[in-house]
Chains A and B, each alone.
Chain A
C-alpha cells in the first residue's frame, strides 16, 4: 500500500519530469496534492438515492494503465461531438487543463509522462473502498450499484476460471444488477450457469430464444432506494451474434428491439416507477439514437464503446452517462425521484487513481485468492518494451502492431489481421512484457491464430465490411469496436464514403506493390467468429515472438491514411 506521503513524492517527481508541458512543475504538484481519497469522493449528497455505475471492467482486478484514444471519429450526427472528441478538443469541450489529473485520465496527451506521475488506475480493491465509502455516507438502502457488462472477460484468471473469479468478486462488491456482452463468449450454458447462481439479476430485454421467441433473461427489475422506485431495464449488446461467435450462443437472438424497450419503459411507468434507468450495452451512439426514439427513459447508463465523459449528455429529457472502462472510473448519479418522476440529479465521474485510494483489505484478499493459482503464469516476463504499447483508437494501436508483427513472423504470413477490440491495458516504455500483460490484450475464448489464403478482393471485402460496422452514419448499423488492424498491408480509408467505396490504395508493404484483387495472399489472423478455426492461441504466437525479440521497439505506424470526411 502506497501512503499518501509516498504518492505525493512520486507526484512531485513527475512534476519535475513534466515541466514545460503546460502547467509548471509547481502548479502540477499543487494540482496533484488535491488527489486524495477524500477529494475523489467529494460529492455533496443530493436527492434521495444514489446510483453507481461500473462498466467494461474487462476482468481487470489490479490497477492498470489505460491510454484513451487519440483518434475516435464520429460519423453523421455524432461527428465532432462527445464522445467523438480526443485530446485538446476533448479538454477544450470539458474545460480540462493540460497535464491535469483529468487530462491524464480522459485523454492520451502526454500519456507516458503523466502516467509516471499519476500512476495506474482502477483495481477492484480500490473500487471496493470507494463504493464502501459512498454506501456508508449515503446509506446502503439508498445506493444502487449497477454493472454495465463486459465484466467476465479480459484477463487470464477470468479465462481460466471461466469467470468464476468475476462472479464472486462482483458479488462481493455488492452489484445489484448486470447486463452483458463479452460474457456471452463463455457460451450459453456457462452464462446461464453463472447468471442463475448470482444473488443479483442478469437483465436483458433484448435476448430471445430462437425457438419460441421467449425472453431468456428477466428484462427489468424495480429497486426501492431511499424511497425512490428505480426501474432498471437491461439491454445486452444487440450485435453479439455478429461481432462474436454465434455458434457459442446458437439458441439466442439479440437485436436492439426498440419497440419492446418502449413497452418495458411503459410497463415500468405504469407500475409507478419514479426513475427509469436503462442499463445498456448498446454503445454510446446507439444509445443516443435510442434515447431520441424511446420515450420516458430518465437515465441511460451507457457502455461498450468505453467512452469516459466527465459530464452527462442530454437527449431530450434523457440523461446519458458514460463511465469508461477497465475500472478507471465509477459514475455516481444522485437522484431526487418521487411522485413518478425524476425531479433532479447530480453526477460525477469518479476517477479511480489507485495510488490515492486505500485498498479494501477484504477485496484485496479475494483478488489474491483468485490470482494465487496463476501467479507464476501471470508474472512470467517474456521481454521488455521500449515503446508505449496501447490498443485503443480507431486504427492501428501499438499493441496491435506488436500482435500483427508477431503473426507475420511466427506464422510466416504476408498480411496479418488483428481485431479492433477496445479492451486491453497499456504498457509504458521500459515496462516488462509479462504474460499477464499479454493476456490482458488477448485472453478470450476463440483465440486461434489461423493462416490461410485470401485474395486481394476478399481482403477488400473484409475491410469494407468492418469499416461499415464502425462508420455507418446510422448508429443502429454500428457494431462498436474499432477498425480491424492490419499488418503487412497499408490502405487509405475515407470514412464518410458509403460501403464499398471507403477503402482504397491497398498496398502490400513488403513489396510496395498495390494489392492485386485476383492474387492470393497468405493471411494470418485471430479471433475469427467462425467455428472450428485451427491454429495456436494468439498469446502463444505473441509470447514466442516477444521471447525471441527480447526488446520490443515499434516505429510509428503510418500505413493507414485516414480521410475523416
Chain B
C-alpha cells in the first residue's frame, strides 16, 4: 500500500543578494511507471508525479515535467538567484489529482 507522499526540501536559510543558491527537494512516491504487470499479468496503471514547480514570493522560477522514467522518491535539485527576503513554495502534482506542497523561508542580507 502506498504511503502518503511526504516532501522534504533543503534551502539555505540566508543568502547574499545576487548569490546563486542550490535547492534540493525530495518527495516520497512510488512513481508507478505504468509499464509493470502484477502477479496475475494485468498491467499496473500509471501513477506518477508528473509536474513540479518552484516559486519565490509567488513567482515561478523553475518547473519540471516528469515522465515514468524518473526514479521512485523523486529527487530534484536546481538553483535560484537570491534577490530579496521571502518564501519559496514547491508543489508536486500527482496523476491522481492530488497536490503536495512545501515552503521554506530565506533571508537575504
A213 B77 Cβ-Cβ under 8 A: yes
- Provide the bound-state CA to CA distance between A212 and B24, in Å: 7
Map CB proximity to A onto B49-60 as digits: 1 under 8 Å, 0 otherwise: 000000000000
CB neighbours of A259 from chain B (8 A): none
A555 within 8 A of B: no
In the bound assembly, the distance between CA atoms of A212 and B75 in angstroms comes to 8
Question: B26–A211 contact, CB under 8 A?
Answer: yes
CB distance from A454 to the nearest CB of B (A): 23
Chain B residues positioned under 8 Å from A211 (CB to CB):
26, 75
CA distance A259 to B26 in the complex (A): 25
Interface size for B (C-beta < 8 A) is 5
* Chain A residues near B26 (CB-CB < 8 A): 211-212
Cβ distance A268 to chain B, nearest Cβ, rounded Å: 23
Question: Does B10 reach chain A (CB closer than 8 Å)?
Answer: yes
Report how far A213 CA is from B23 CA in the complex, Å.
12
* Least CB separation from A212: chain B residue: B24
- Chain A nearest CB: distance from B24 CB in Å? 6
Residue of A nearest to B26 (CB): A211
Q: Which residue of B lies closest to A210 (CB)?
A: B75
Interface residues on A, range: under 10
A329 CA to B39 CA in the complex, in Å?
Answer: 55
Give B31 Cβ to nearest chain A Cβ, in Å: 15
Residues of A within 8 Å of B75, CB to CB, are 211, 213
Taken together as a complex, chains A and B put the C-alpha atoms of A164 and B26 apart, in Å, by 36
- Rounded to whole angstroms, the CA-CA distance of A213 and B22 in the bound complex is 12
Docked Cα-Cα span, A212 to B22, in Å, equals 12
Residue interface bits B3-34, CB-to-A below 8 A is 1, else 0? 00000001000000000000010100000000
Q: Which residues of A contact B10 (CB under 8 A)?
A: 212
CB distance from A71 to the nearest CB of B (A): 41
| Min CB–CB distance B73 → chain A (angstroms) | 8
CB distance from A216 to the nearest CB of B (A): 16
A211 to B24 Cα, complex, angstroms: 10
Tell me how far the C-beta of A452 lies from the nearest C-beta in chain B, rounded to whole angstroms. 21
CB distance from B29 to the nearest CB of A (A): 14
Give Cα A93–Cα B31 distance, bound, in whole angstroms: 57
**A41 CA / B88 CA spacing, docked (Å):** 64
The chain B residue with its CB closest to the CB of A211 is B26
CA separation between A211 and B10, bound complex, in Å?
11
- A213 to B26 CA separation, bound complex (whole angstroms): 11
Nearest chain B CB to A405 CB, angstrom units? 39
Task: List, in ascending order, chain A residues with CB within 8 A of B24's CB.
Answer: 212-213
Contact with B along A206-228 (1 / 0, CB 8 A): 00000111000000000000000
Chain B residues contacting A213 (CB-CB under 8 Å) are: 24, 75, 77
Interface string of A384-397 (1 = CB under 8 A from B): 00000000000000
CB distance from A252 to the nearest CB of B (A): 15
Would you give the shortest CB distance from B77 to chain A, in whole angstroms?
7
| Minimum C-beta distance from B25 to chain A (A) | 10
User: B residues within 8 A CB of A212?
Assistant: 10, 24, 26
Q: How far is the CA of A213 from the CA of B77 in the complex (A)?
A: 10
In the complex, what's the smallest C-beta–C-beta distance from B75 to chain A, in angstroms?
Answer: 7
A211 and B76 alpha carbons, distance in the complex (Å)? 10
Which residues in chain A, 155-210, are within 8 Å of chain B measured between CB atoms? Answer: none
**Could you tell me the distance in whole angstroms from the C-beta of A263 to the nearest C-beta in chain B?**
15
Closest to B73 in A: A211
Q: Give the shortest distance, in Å, between A241 (CB) and chain B (any CB).
A: 15
- Bound form: Cα–Cα A426–B19 in Å: 60
* Distance in angstroms between the alpha carbons of A525 and B10 in the assembled complex: 45
For B77, the closest partner residue in chain A by CB is A213
- Which residues, 73 to 96 on B, are CB-close (under 8 Å) to A? 75, 77
Could you tell me the distance in whole angstroms from the C-beta of B88 to the nearest C-beta in chain A? Answer: 17
A211 and B75 CA atoms in complex are apart in Å by 8
A213 to B76, CA, bound (A): 11
Docked pose: A212 CA to B76 CA in angstroms: 10
A156 CB to nearest chain B CB (Å): 39
Please measure, in the bound complex, the distance between the C-alpha atom of A526 and the C-alpha atom of B22, giving whole angstroms.
45
Alpha-carbon gap, A212 to B77, bound state (A): 9
| A-chain residues with CB within 8 Å of residue B77 when the two chains form the complex | 213
Cα–Cα, bound, A485→B10 (Å): 48
Extra contacts besides A211-B26, A212-B26, A213-B77 (5): CB < 8 Å: A211-B75, A212-B10, A212-B24, A213-B24, A213-B75
8 contacts between A and B (CB under 8 A): A211-B26, A211-B75, A212-B10, A212-B24, A212-B26, A213-B24, A213-B75, A213-B77
**A-contacting residues of B (Cβ < 8 Å)?**
10, 24, 26, 75, 77
Closest 8 CB pairs between A and B? A212-B24, A212-B10, A211-B26, A211-B75, A213-B77, A213-B24, A212-B26, A213-B75
- On A, residues with C-beta under 8 Å from B are 211-213
